[in-house]
Amino acid sequence: MKKLLTVLLAAGVMTTAAAPSFATPTLRLTSGAVTKTVVDNAANDATEESGVVGYMGSVGDFSLSVTTGVTKPYQGDEYNPYLDLNSLSGTSGKAGTLKLEFTETGFLSIDNVLYLLSQIGGTINNANGSSLTYDVYADASNAAFGTGTQLLHAQYGTGAFSNTDFLKGDLTNPFSLTIVATLTHGAGGTSSFDAFVGVPEPTTLGLLGIGVLALGRTRKKHKSKSL
């Protein structure tokens, strides 16, 4: 009996050690020397839903109508990663840069292999020099805003845009995911975008086939309506 109790206690310790640590979904918005950090369900969170983080207001030279980040438990779960970063009507009165980051930790992959679908679309203001840089990171240290593995890097110029990518990463569990969107305005104007990263639906996987996913990345670019 004593030996059995010892085994059970040891198993409990091992289970506790292997369990993922969970952080709170967090938005981080930076323009110049100004940084606004919004934590899920904190006083400055514009939404009441767990897993949905919202901000409305100014960040440096930019005014944001609505910026939201959506993840688990509102959408997705540990084994079905889901991150969506949406910014509607980001406006500046002059040239400037706004960095928008959204992160969540505690995701798990089967056999330490991760397949994700990335979709982004929006409209960048027409001023010369305006652009949006889009990065997706996974981090095996499970750190919020961790950048251990870059899964995607893309850049878009002025006007309407949309893009779809299929991402693959080899990771140890648990891990974090982070979307980073860097918006640059060459002059005053307004831009909007919506970026999503998550596990593809089974029907999508069936249509594409495992062979396509094994390639790690395919890209299709076309015009879309502005958000």
- CA 172 to centroid of chain Cα atoms: 19
At 24, is the pLDDT very low, low, confident or very high (cuts 50, 70, 90)?
Answer: confident
Could you identify the residue written with the tokens 């395919």?
A: 218
Task: Provide mean pLDDT across the span 122-149.
Answer: 95
- Say what the pLDDT of residue 23 is: 59
**Residue 109: pLDDT above 70?**
yes
User: 25-221 — its CATH code?
Assistant: 2.60.120
- Say what the pLDDT of residue 73 is: 95
pTM: 0.80
- Say what the pLDDT of residue 46 is: 95
Task: Provide mean pLDDT across the span 114-139.
Answer: 95
Task: Provide mean pLDDT across the span 131-144.
Answer: 97
Question: 6-15, 27-36, 103-112, 137-146 — which is least confidently predicted?
Answer: 6-15
Q: Where are the domains of the chain?
A: 25-221
- Say what the pLDDT of residue 139 is: 96
**Residue 2: pLDDT above 70?**
no
**Residue 26: pLDDT above 80?**
yes
Task: Provide mean pLDDT across the span 76-93.
Answer: 95
HEC letters along the chain: CHHHHHHHHHHHHHHHHHCCCCCCCEEEEEECCEEEEEECCCCCCCCCCCCEEEEEEEECCEEEEEEEEECCCCCCECCECEEEEEEEEEEECCCEEEEEEEEEEEECCHHHEEEEEEEEEEEECCCCCCEEEEEEEEECCCCCCCCCEEEEEEEECCEEEEEEEEEEEECCCCEEEEEEEEEEECCCEEEEEEEEEECCCHHHHHHHHHHHHHCCCCCEECCCCCC
- Say what the pLDDT of residue 10 is: 39
Which of 89, 82, 124 is CA-nearest to residue 106? 82
- Say what the pLDDT of residue 108 is: 94
What is the C-alpha separation between 40 and 50, in angstroms, rounded?
A: 7
Mean pLDDT of the chain, nearest integer: 83
How many CA atoms lie within 13 Å of 96's alpha carbon, on the beta-carbon side?
A: 21
**Residue 27: pLDDT above 80?**
yes
Question: 87-91, 140-144, 171-175, 206-210 — which is least confidently predicted?
Answer: 206-210
At 171, is the pLDDT very low, low, confident or very high (cuts 50, 70, 90)?
Answer: confident
The one-letter amino acid code at 137 reads Y
